[in-house]
Amino acid sequence: MANNWAPKTKVDWFLTVLRVLALGVVTVGLLAFIAQQISVDNPFARLINPDATGLTVAQFRGLVISGLSQGAMYGLIALGYSMVYGVLGFINFAHGEVFMVGAMTGMITSNKLDDAGLWESNFIGSLLFIVVVSMLVCTLTAVIMERVAYRPLRKAPRLIPLITSIGISFFIQNTSVVLLGPTSKAYPDMPDWLTAKRTFLEIEGTKILVICVAALAMLGLWLLVERTKTGKAMRAVAEDQEIAGLMGVNVNRTIVKVFAVGGAMAGVAGILWGVLFRSVIHYTGFLPGIKAFSSAVVGGIGNLGGSMAGGLFIGLAESTGPLLILEPLGVSGVSQLRDAVAFAMLIGVLLLKPSGLFGERLSAEDRA
């Protein structure tokens, strides 16, 4: 890898300068942050940002937990992008909308449960119920999407299903506006015992819940993909559709399963969104979708563990980046730059490791 970095052409020189700059900004920012944490009057901290105040431990922990819980959600959505890309080689941009459908389904179901009085009296049962319903609805949405929009285009150039997916994305958003209206809709209140700060490190229960549910979903998916024949069939189809077919794998059915599993994960993520933010609107899927897609790319698209790691990375970066790196550098209005930080991290990772953090580096022969 190192020899790839040795500058050969002007473009290589340019990229090398960019890499050094990116690393430099991050390093100086972090050093300044550490300096101001040690002492706000530290000359190094004062030099770069005279108004630096630093963070308390509790505030720092709050940022990290918030980034992790959001990142876990990105990771779950990213799995769907990654799996479809791995198997079909195109980006299903409508996947973010499947996530939105999950969040909407959870909103409708949880409010119904709340009306029936079950939400408060049996919160865990209700939560399980809305997760299952949301997974079912999202699975169905994803499967129908594959059958109606993508299967007829299986043999078309990759750009065509990509554009189609953008169209589907708008279709689902607008359908949501027609059916549910254009305003944001709220989940019922979470029970007090959940929202109260737990004694354990004073972390909010909702965030612990989100991280645990995401970890469970990820574990289930990992077992499915690594340990079962369905998973092996998925990986076989991802590697070589034609050969997989010749080895007796039903390619169409396997692709449907890939969409179904991706949809189910988006369904879980939709509920986690509801638990975290309690508010959903028809464009809820857009930005998380783009971030999840970035997570998949950061982690190495096609690699499931990488997607999850990429999600956590992007979530942490956008949560802590503005205050850890930009604020000590004296940038103003840093919180508004969080999306910029998230995408800058994406570019930074791709500059340093073009295949993503966990991207498989296949030799030309293997790919041939």
Partner 1 sequence: MFGTRKTSRFRIAFKTAVVLACLALVLSACGDDEDSAAPEAGTETTAPATTVAPEEMGEEVLVMEHLGDGSLGTVEVEPGEAVQIRSLNAITGDVAFFGLPIERSVVLAIADYGQVHGFDVDMGTGLDDLCSNDGGQAAAQIIVADEDVVGVIGTSCSGAATAAAPLITDAGMVLISGGNTSPALTSDLAGTPGPNYSYGYYRTAHNDLFQGRVMAEFVFNELGITTAAAIHDGDPYTQGLAKAFTDAFAALGGDVTGFSAVNKEDTDMVPVLTEIAAGSPGALFFPIFQPAGDFIAEQAPGVSGLEGTVLLAADGLLNTSYLALSQTEGMYFSGPDTRFGQNVNASTGKSAQDFLAAYESEYGEGPAAPFWAHGYDATTMLLDAITAASYVSEDGSLMVDRQGVRQYLDNVRNYQGLIGVIGCDDFGDCGSGKITVVHHASSDDPEASMGNVVYSGGGN
Partner 2 sequence: MNGNPLLDIRGLTVEFGGLRALDGVDIQVHEGQIVSVIGPNGAGKTTLFNAITASVEATGEILFEGRTLLGLDANQVTSRGVARTFQNVRLFANMTVLENVMVSQHCRTKQGTFGALFYTKAFRREEAEIRARAEEILGFFGTRLIGFRLDQPAAVLSYANRRRLEIARAMATQPKLLLLDEPVAGMNPVESAELTGLIGRLREEWGFTIVVIEHDMEVVREVSDRVIVLDHGTMIADGDYHEVSSDPRVIEAYLGQGATTK
Which residues of this protein are in contact with partner 2, per CB under 8 A?
Answer: 220, 224, 227-233, 235-236, 239-240, 242-252, 257, 360, 362-363, 366, 368
What's the token pair of residue 354? 């073009």
Contact status: 340 vs partner 1 (CB under 8 A):
yes
185-186 and 279-280 beta bridge pairing: antiparallel
Alpha-carbon span 195 to 263, nearest angstrom: 28
> Which does residue 229 touch among partner 2, partner 1, none (CB within 5 to 8 A, set by kind)?
partner 2
Q: Which stretch binds partner 1 (CB under 8 A): 26-34, 120-128, 254-262, 286-294?
A: 286-294
Closest to 188 (Cα-Cα) out of 253, 123, 140: 123
Nearer to partner 2, 27 or 250 (CB): 250
Q: Are 263 and 143 in contact (CB under 8 A)?
A: yes
Nearer to partner 1, 179 or 219 (CB): 179
Q: Are 252 and 241 in contact (CB under 8 A)?
A: no
> Which does residue 186 touch among partner 2, partner 1, none (CB within 5 to 8 A, set by kind)?
partner 1
Contact status: 45 vs partner 1 (CB under 8 A):
no
Contact status: 339 vs partner 1 (CB under 8 A):
yes
Helix H, strand E, coil C: the string for 95-155 is HHHHHHHHHHHHHHHHHHHHHCCHHHHCHHHHHHHHHHHHHHHHHHHHHHHHHHHHHHHCC
Closest to 322 (Cα-Cα) out of 66, 13, 7: 66
The DSSP symbol for 284 reads T
Give the shortest CB-265-to-partner 2 separation in angstroms: 14
Torsion of CA 301, 306, 307, 310, to 10 degrees: -110
Contact status: 279 vs partner 1 (CB under 8 A):
yes
Selected binder of partner 1 within 197, 198, 227, 253 (CB under 8 A): 197
x/- site string to partner 1, residues 54 to 93, per CB under 8 A? xxx-xx-xxx--x---x------------------x----
Selected binder of partner 1 within 23, 47, 201, 347 (CB under 8 A): 347
User: In sequence order, what are the residues at sequence separation of 6 or more whose Cβ sits closer than 8 angstroms to the Cβ of residue 214?
Assistant: 69, 72, 73, 75, 76, 268, 269, 272
Contact status: 362 vs partner 1 (CB under 8 A):
yes
> Which does residue 218 touch among partner 2, partner 1, none (CB within 5 to 8 A, set by kind)?
none
Alpha-carbon span 259 to 238, nearest angstrom: 13
The DSSP symbol for 322 reads I
- Which residues lie near partner 1 (CB under 8 A)? 53-56, 58-59, 61-63, 66, 70, 89, 158, 182-184, 186, 189, 195, 197, 202, 204, 240, 276-279, 281, 283, 286-287, 294, 297, 318-320, 322-323, 327, 333-336, 338-340, 343-344, 346-347, 350, 354, 362, 364, 367-368
